[in-house]
Amino acid sequence: MLATPGAFKVYARPEGNRCLLTSGYGVTIARDARGFVVAKFASFLPGGHPAAAQEEDEELEKPKQHWMGADEDMAALECIFNKQTRTYFVVDIMHWGDTSYRQYPLAVRLHHLQDKFQQLAKSGIAAEFNLNFRLVDYLDCTVEAFNHCYYGPLLTPYLTRTDQGDQVIDKQAVFRDLSDG
């Protein structure tokens, strides 16, 4: 089977620690790669704010109505947390509200993730919290995109190919341009 264009994605991994963010019952929890809790906080994620849990307690007889909407009581996101910028870079979505996204292909998950964050940006809810959330930029996996993600936008123009087909950075060109600039 041949891969179709755009079937594979690549992204530049942000600096930081990989974590799993889960929200529900009025709190958002960040766990490290070993499963240990590293942070608990309120967030705009479904069920991640005390108001969501409070509404659930107050309205036991009524259908669940959370501040994010009906039946939207939890989320699970794969992230990378950067301590210096206090930013959670969202890599993937596993669960949001009452929908599990685990069975969907990456392209569908990314589309839903972008849609959810665009809705939150329009509503202004995310601005109420003291944390930064950013979606990782995925690119179609081409040689140029891979080089951009691996070497960065500054070094990519200095890549050359050896006779054996390996890619190396032309250090002389880099030093020449640095001394000229």
Question: Over 80: is that where the pLDDT of 154 sits?
Answer: no
Average pLDDT, the chain: 80
Token pair, residue 143, equals 């040689």
pLDDT of residue 52: 56
Most confident of 26-30, 67-71, 116-120, 156-160: 26-30
Assign 55 a pLDDT band (cuts: 50, 70, 90).
Answer: low
| 11: number of Cβ within 10 Å | 15
Residues near 88 by beta carbon (within 8 Å), at least 6 away in sequence: 19, 21, 30, 77, 79, 80, 81, 131, 132, 133, 134
pLDDT of residue 30: 95
State how far the Cα of 67 lies from the Cα of 44, in Å rounded to an integer: 9
What is the mean predicted confidence (pLDDT) over 150-163? 77
For the entire predicted model, the pTM comes to 0.73
State how far the Cα of 136 lies from the Cα of 92, in Å rounded to an integer: 9
Residues near 21 by beta carbon (within 8 Å), at least 6 away in sequence: 28, 29, 30, 43, 45, 75, 76, 77, 78, 79, 88
Per-residue model confidence as pLDDT tens digits over 130-144? 678 899 988 888 888
For 55-86, b where at least 16 C-beta lie within 10 A, e where not — what string?
bbeeeeeeebebbbeeebbbbbbebbbbeeee
pLDDT of residue 36: 96
- Cβ(76)–Cβ(28) below 8 Å: no
What is the mean predicted confidence (pLDDT) over 100-121? 89
State how far the Cα of 45 lies from the Cα of 54, in Å rounded to an integer: 15
- Give the residue extent of every domain in the chain: 9-135, 153-180
- Cβ(170)–Cβ(159) below 8 Å: yes
What is the mean predicted confidence (pLDDT) over 88-98? 93
What is the mean predicted confidence (pLDDT) over 168-176? 80
Q: Does domain 9-135 have CATH number 3.30.470.30?
A: yes
Assign 176 a pLDDT band (cuts: 50, 70, 90).
Answer: confident
